[in-house]
Amino acid sequence: MESTAMVQDGLKQNFRADQLNVYVYESRPQMGQAAAAVIAAEIRRAIEERGRAVVILASAPSQNEFLASLAEAADIDWSRVTAFHLDEYLGMDAQAPQSFRKFLIDGLVNKVQLGQFHGLGGEAPDGPAEAKRYAKLLEENSPDFAVLGIGENGHLAFIDPPFCDFNDPEAVKVVELDEVCRNQQVNDGAFAIIDDVPQHALSLTIPTLMRTPKLFAIAPGPAKRHAIKRTLEKPVSTSCPASILRTHPNAHLFIDVVAAGFLDH
């Protein structure tokens, strides 16, 4: 991994699961700072090499420490950064408290004066048409890397295990959310009860993520222990979408010691 000198503080363990590089930190703040240092370096490098950086970002409480540190990173010309995101609830207005667009706008976009932020239009009247529009934007703006979370059910973006296809022909699509995923949204505090959680969303697909040159996943906390164990130690399978990260040639997972609590390492 690049910029290793910047990520040693609090690093307890570093190992590989197949091709996936795993970094275990003593605390969530140390993990977030380390991930931000590495990703800030990637942004600077992309700007230096091709005049701009195109990034895909996750929206979830697991990203809080990382985003807070990234917003404070020095020497980034944010006006040269274009950002996409992974997913959005279908039917969700961008101003709603639960909106993933609002999460990123509040947590990063408005703090650093990003060059461009392309949001998935959850309120679009035609979900499949919105998915095609977004897929075309991604095709026109080839991402340098993606920052991902890992769900309690092992999902990537909003690709839940019952509906996961590692060979999905679509780049962006309307997806159904399983009960574990919807419960997680309640656990995260976004919704009061599961009946309030939308049943469908717009999401990038697994092949879209796997085509991205570099992947950085950030998944701390006790609620992620089972998912992290399945991701790293069980067979690569659609029953745990995140396990596919182990087959990517340049993927990195940042977790804290709590999330690593069930690992055999």
> pLDDT tens digits, residue range 206-261?
999 999 999 999 999 999 999 999 999 999 999 999 999 999 999 999 999 999 99
pLDDT at position 14: 97
Mean pLDDT of the chain: 96
Q: What is the C-alpha to C-alpha distance for residues 217 and 242, in angstroms, rounded to an integer?
A: 9
Do 178 and 161 meet the contact criterion of CB atoms below 8 Å apart? yes
Copy the structure tokens of residue 96: 């709603």
Provide the residue ranges of all domains of the chain, joining segments of one domain with +. 13-256
Contacts of 97 (CB under 8 A, 6+ apart): 190
Counting Cβ atoms within 10 Å, is residue 171 exposed (0-12), middle (13-18) or buried (19+)? middle
pTM of the model: 0.96
The DSSP bridge pattern shows strands 81-85 and 116-117 to be parallel
pLDDT band per the 50, 70, 90 thresholds, residue 5 = very low
| End-to-end CA, the chain | 20
Higher pLDDT, 5 or 26: 26
pLDDT at 124 over 70: yes
Instruction: Give the up-direction half-sphere exposure of residue 205: CA atoms within 13 A in the CB hemisphere.
Output: 19
Architecture in CATH of 13-256: 3-Layer(aba) Sandwich (3.40)
What percentage of the chain carries pLDDT values higher than 70? 97
